[in-house]
A and B are shown apart, each in its own frame.
Chain A
Amino acid sequence: MNIKALLVDGDPLIYGAMVSIGLVTVAILFLLTYFKKWGWLWREWLTTVDHKKIGIMYILSALVMLFRGGMDAMMMRVQLAFPDLGFLDSQHYNEIFTTHGTIMIIFMAMPFLIGLMNIIVPLQIGARDFAFPYLNALSFWAFFMGAMLFNISFVIGGSPDAGWTSYTPLSGAAMSPGPGQNFYLMGLQLSGIGTLATGINLMVTILKMRAPGMKLFHMPIFTWSTLVTSFIIVFAFPILTIALALLTIDRIFGSQFFTLTGEGLPMMWANLFWMWGHPEVYIVILPAFGIFSEVIATFAKKRLFGYSAMVWSMIIIALLSFLVWVHHFFTMGAGAFVNSVFSVSTMLIAVPTGVKIFNWLATLYKSKIEFSVAMLWALAFIPSFILGGVTGVMLGMAAADFQFHNSYFLIAHFHYVLIAGTVFACFAGLVYWYPKMFGHKMNERIGKWAFWFFVIGFHVCFFPQYFLGLDGMPRRLFITNVVEWLPLNVISTVGAFGMGIGFAIFVYNVYYSYRHSERETTGDSWNGNGRTLEWATTTPVPYYNFATVPHVDEIDPYVRMKKEGKTTFDEPNVKPIHMPSYTGRPFIMMAFLGLASFGLVFEWIWLAIVGLIGGIIFMILRTYDYDEGYYVSVEEIKRTERKARGL
């Protein structure tokens, strides 16, 4: 196995990528050494178990992945607008749409939302950290190693090319030999471990660690959405884990679960994949609903309209999400009765979703809206998402779906729900909670430029695709020089670059705000309009979050706390706080499992065994880990709080 055989060659774009990866790596190593930051990196980040820092690492990784997935998207759009240019060859195009889809769902949308949950949920319920801080660090590093493993595929060994759904038999060993599909299987498996552990962690945190007096129906709506999402994660992810494991055994050890020969059942992959895959889309949309609810309530300066209806509609959406998976493959031909059942259950989901839309509108009704950047993202979400939702109901009609299936109509639909829902929510949530994370706001003027470029670009990019779909343009097509399609494809590409500019402005805003934004002096950043407990802490948030945890017996407790002049620093009642110790073991354990996965990708069993043994040694070490954390002394808490509150 020489190294030349491993590296992908023959394409100038990939050589360019290799060179830039090499340069960036060298630059990072140089900067860390030059500024003597290795110790800082290890002590403050690689070994941290603080939920706020882990959340920041999640969001940073997600932004990097958004860049990667976005580059893929723009390369596809260039190919489709200029099909005769020969910009990409067909293999490269297949790899790019596969990695675009996988990265955007698994390595961008989920970590972005999980990052926000990490930072905000403990603050909203008055907890000092997650229930299992060690496990939380483990989850992040599992995700991170999985994402890195998946991302090196395009320079080492070749990327997966069977679509993000990885349908068998195409993705089986017979039709996709080589390491490509293995990258997909192992990358998702490894990061899936992290997601599953986070689901359990958040569930326990929310159920067991709420502030005294806080009942479930007193929780902020974002925390509610996180709880419902955690349940979906815990019940849906095992299905993916099993499906991935079966396909891995198929590919690496020669079994016949999804093959065409040997009594295999290729369509069972689609069945299992969507049993996870449909709940998965609610895993990425329910937290988005939660974020929009918080943002809309804050900037409409009202209590969220219909709080209980909002909660119950999320619970019903979660239940229904497990009963609709067949609508992703109506055309398999399971028969009219099967398709009818799933068609009806699919349309049922529009009911609780509609309830939520009307509740947001009712919250806005007759309120004094403050058009901040976070609120603009939330307001743009409502009409855009409705366009995606209505076309979703159209796709849900089984008979009509035979026309829409696999066309750009479908592509336009799911980009309308995933971008207008999840991506807008990620931006809204990041802007909204940015002062809590970093101690300063993002610049509003530059933020509005980013917003308008992105939103207009989004509609210009994806609205024409509905019509391309109705004109019969299929998805995953590499040569599209049909005269009728060309104008709409060019318009769509212009929109994609608009979104790219919007994202670039957003990233520039991070830098600009770091340099120039005013530092926050109070914890309640948005003109004193904060309603929930995360705004009651000081900014930046002390590492123990709350000096004293207030007693909560209503929705939006911070509104009354402000009226009564109460804070989270009740000086006479400060007690020592129990905190978990930092540890480097989660990072090392997951590095070993990453190594094992890399071995399995190339089917080098010896390397896989070495990695697994390393991982198991660290698991055994963990069982003998009697570190029970430490106590923060009362004096230190008082000193910190007095300084932060200017007392």
Chain B
Amino acid sequence: MANSKKRIPTNHIVGFLLSLVMTIVAAWAALQSDLPVMWIIIGIMALAVLQAGVQLFMFMHVTESASGNGHVPWNMMFHGFALAAIVVAGSLFTMSFGFSHDHGDNGGNEQHHEQHQEESGY
């Protein structure tokens, strides 16, 4: 709103096109390419990090200077990372502790249950 005279937001348009290109490349790598799975995963990860960078620097306020209450974007990102850590670590903790993932042929759940009771008997 401050500089409404500038009618063409160059930064945003470039960022938008970059995002589209990276999304298409990721989709192509997953659906059409013959790359080995490991390379596809690494490639998508790398593209995701770049994508996040585009979002943060070209659309959001990371480049903003610190205001009265410290650097707000970094504060919020810190909280975001803390929450992401809780979601990922927490899910791994609750969903895998005491379970095995060897997809045995005989008995599925029963087997898990027995195994889990043995493991948790400390």
Q: Chain A interface (Cβ within 8 Å of chain B)? A: 207, 231, 235, 239, 265, 267-268, 271-272, 275, 322-323, 325-326, 333-338, 342, 626, 628
Which single residue of chain A is at the shortest CB-CB distance from B69? A207
Interface presence of B98 (CB below 8 A): yes
Contact (Cβ within 8 A) A336 B120: yes
Task: Given A275-B90, A626-B4, A628-B1, decide whether A334 and B83 contact each other with a Cβ distance below 8 A.
Answer: no
User: How many angstroms between the C-alpha atoms of A496 and B92 in the bound complex?
Assistant: 42
In the complex the two chains form, is A326's CB within 8 Å of B94's CB? yes
A567 to chain B, nearest CB (A): 29
Are B4 and A338 in contact, with the CB atoms below 8 A?
no
Beta-carbon contact of B83 and A335 below 8 Å? no
Instruction: Name the contact of B95 in the complex, choosing from A207, A239, A267, A336 (C-beta under 8 A).
Output: A267
List the A side residues contacting B90 at CB < 8 Å. 275, 325
By a CB distance below 8 angstroms, the chain B residues around A335 are 97-98, 116, 119-120
CA distance in complex: A338, B69 (Å)? 38
B98 touches A334 (CB 8 A): yes
Smallest CB–CB gap between A205 and chain B, Å?
15
Whether A322 and B119, one on each chain, are in contact in the complex, defined by CB atoms closer than 8 angstroms, is no
Q: What CA separation (Å) do A317 and B95 show in the bound complex?
A: 25
**Contacts A268-B95, A275-B86 known; 14 new A-B pairs at CB < 8 A:** A235-B80, A239-B87, A271-B95, A272-B91, A275-B91, A326-B94, A333-B98, A334-B94, A334-B95, A334-B97, A334-B98, A335-B116, A338-B94, A628-B4
Binding site for A on B (CB under 8 A): 1, 4, 69, 79-80, 83, 86-87, 90-91, 93-95, 97-99, 113, 116, 119-120
Cα distance A336–B97 when bound, in Å? 10
Q: Which 7 pairs show the lowest CB-CB distances between chains A and B?
A: A335-B98, A335-B120, A336-B120, A235-B83, A338-B97, A334-B94, A326-B94
Q: A335-B119, A628-B1 are in contact. Are A322 and B83 (CB under 8 A)?
A: yes
Complex Cα distance, B83 from A239, in Å, reads 10
- For the complex, give the distance between the alpha carbons of A460 and B4 in Å: 61
Give the residue name and chain of the B residue nearest to A279 (CB): B83
A-B contacts, 30 listed (Cβ < 8 Å): A207-B69, A231-B79, A235-B80, A239-B87, A265-B95, A267-B95, A268-B91, A271-B91, A271-B94, A271-B95, A275-B87, A275-B91, A322-B83, A322-B86, A333-B98, A333-B116, A334-B95, A334-B99, A335-B97, A335-B98, A335-B119, A335-B120, A337-B97, A337-B98, A337-B120, A338-B94, A338-B97, A338-B98, A626-B4, A628-B1
B116 surroundings in chain A (CB, below 8 A): 333, 335
Residues of B within 8 A of A322 (CB): 83, 86
Chain B residue contacts of A323, Cβ below 8 A:
86
User: A322 vs B116: C-alpha distance in the bound complex, in angstroms?
Assistant: 26
A335 and B98 CA atoms in complex are apart in Å by 6
The docked-state distance in angstroms from the alpha carbon of A171 to that of B86 is 26
Chain B residues, Cβ within 8 Å of A342: 94
Bound Cα distance A334, B119 (Å): 11
Q: Which residues of B contact A338 (CB under 8 A)?
A: 93-94, 97-98
Residue of A nearest to B1 (CB): A628
CA distance A334 to B79 in the complex (A): 27
State A275–B79 Cα separation when bound (angstroms): 16
When chains A and B are docked, how far (Å) is the Cα of A137 from the Cα of B4? Answer: 23
User: How far does the Cβ of A351 sit from chain B's closest Cβ, in whole Å?
Assistant: 20
Known A-B contacts A333-B113, A335-B116, A337-B120; A235 and B95 likewise in contact (beta carbons under 8 Å): no
Per the bound structure, the CA–CA distance linking A116 and B57 in Å amounts to 36
